[in-house]
Amino acid sequence: MLKLSKYFLFQAFGWSAFAVFNIYVAYILQELTFKIFLTDILLSLMGFGISHWYRNYLKKHQWILLETEQLIKKALLATFVPTIVYYIGYHLLILTLGIRTQEEYFSTFIATYLLLSSWNLVYFAWHFIEKNKRIQIDTLKMESALKDLEIITIRANLQPHFIFNSLNSIRALIDENPELARNAITKISNILRNTITKQDPTDTLENELALVEDYLALEKIRFEERLDFKKDIDVAALTVPIPTVMLQTLIENAIKHGISSLEAGGNIFLSARINPAKQLEIQIANDTNSQQEIKKENNLGFGLNSTKQRLKLIYGEKAQFSFESINNTARVLILIPTLPGITNKTV
């Protein structure tokens, strides 16, 4: 109904403008009479009817789907048909009303052909613009669907990865300390319930920190005093949304590739603040073994690669990710866009 009303609106406007223009020209030339006025109105109505009939023919044969070159050729030829109909109707009308005109027949025919060719141009240009708009919308919808699917796929890979590492921790405790093993199973159950039920691609930093605390409580059972965790979090940053399970994945990566390789264990430091550019700035630093191969950004492990991918999918170029491993310290820096007007308070 919306497209139909747009079509009739433009039709009515165009042919009304045609009638008004002809009446105005006759008035300027001091040739305006009631018969001339009536003729211009009737010609406008006739043009409306003929062009509408022509449009129905175009729709029926789906000319809008033709290739551009083929469409131009067919339209140039087909326009002769409504031109002849209009031309005959025009002369019958002026003969009926007894209007004398000094116009040449050939020039009248050419003017009519150019008029209906202009109608063709507007009609097909409109459809071309509408078609391109629909294609762009469909493309954006497809890109969005693929992006959502890729995010879901990455998360689906993250959860088994986390479960596998956690079960390994629990397995080591079963013979050594059954009571701690039972407590660990309870903790992993709580963590999985929390992560699996989260369907949104992002959650607040505050909720994600709570997940990290639960995860570290589980890992503390295995590492005991070998694992030391410190954090420095801005209160203002707590409400900023970040990718779900991102922090837990990065902390897990720090333990697996850093702390676990050190006989005496090591430290993990997590900071989050709103920087002067109104971005959420997250840093995770952990001790690591200098003998291990220093990873480059284009050769990251699964945890870091998945984080980098998710940031790009969710935020595009607005988020930044960097990783470095220097002097026995591995450091991840993440910048995420946030809302303006946030003040910093540190706890």
Q: Which pLDDT score, from 0 to 100, does residue 241 have?
A: 92
CATH number, residue 184: 3.30.565.10
Domain presence at residue 114: no
pLDDT at 268 over 90: yes
Q: Is residue 90 domain-shared with residue 151, that is, in the same domain?
A: no
Q: Which pLDDT score, from 0 to 100, does residue 280 have?
A: 95
- Please state the pTM of the whole predicted model: 0.53
Domain presence at residue 133: no
Q: What is the DSSP letter of 203?
A: E
Average pLDDT on 103-127 reads 81
- With beta carbons less than 8 A apart as the criterion, state whether 288 and 306 touch: no
Q: Which pLDDT score, from 0 to 100, does residue 117 have?
A: 87
> Among residues 261, 158, 272, 176, which one has the least CA distance to residue 215?
158
Q: Is residue 73 domain-shared with residue 155, that is, in the same domain?
A: no
Domain presence at residue 119: no
**Which of 102, 126, 158 is the endpoint of a domain?**
102
State which residues form the domain around 233: 141-337
pLDDT confidence band for 89 (50 / 70 / 90): confident
Q: Is residue 169 domain-shared with residue 262, that is, in the same domain?
A: yes
- CA 79 – CA 232 distance, rounded (Å): 75
Q: Which pLDDT score, from 0 to 100, does residue 297 have?
A: 46
Average pLDDT on 109-120 reads 86
pLDDT at 243 over 60: yes
Domain presence at residue 175: yes
Domain presence at residue 121: no
pLDDT at 300 over 60: no
Domain presence at residue 152: yes
pLDDT confidence band for 314 (50 / 70 / 90): confident
Give the tokens for residue 96.
Answer: 């009926």
Domain presence at residue 122: no
pLDDT digits (tens, 9 = 90+) for 38-69: 988 998 898 899 888 888 888 888 887 777 78
% pLDDT > 70, the chain: 81
Average pLDDT, the chain: 79
- Alpha helix positions (H), the chain: 2-28, 34-60, 68-78, 80-97, 105-176, 178-196, 205-223, 246-257, 302-315
Domain presence at residue 123: no
Average pLDDT on 120-136 reads 80
- With beta carbons less than 8 A apart as the criterion, state whether 82 and 54 touch: yes
User: Domain tally for the chain?
Assistant: 2
pLDDT at 301 over 80: no
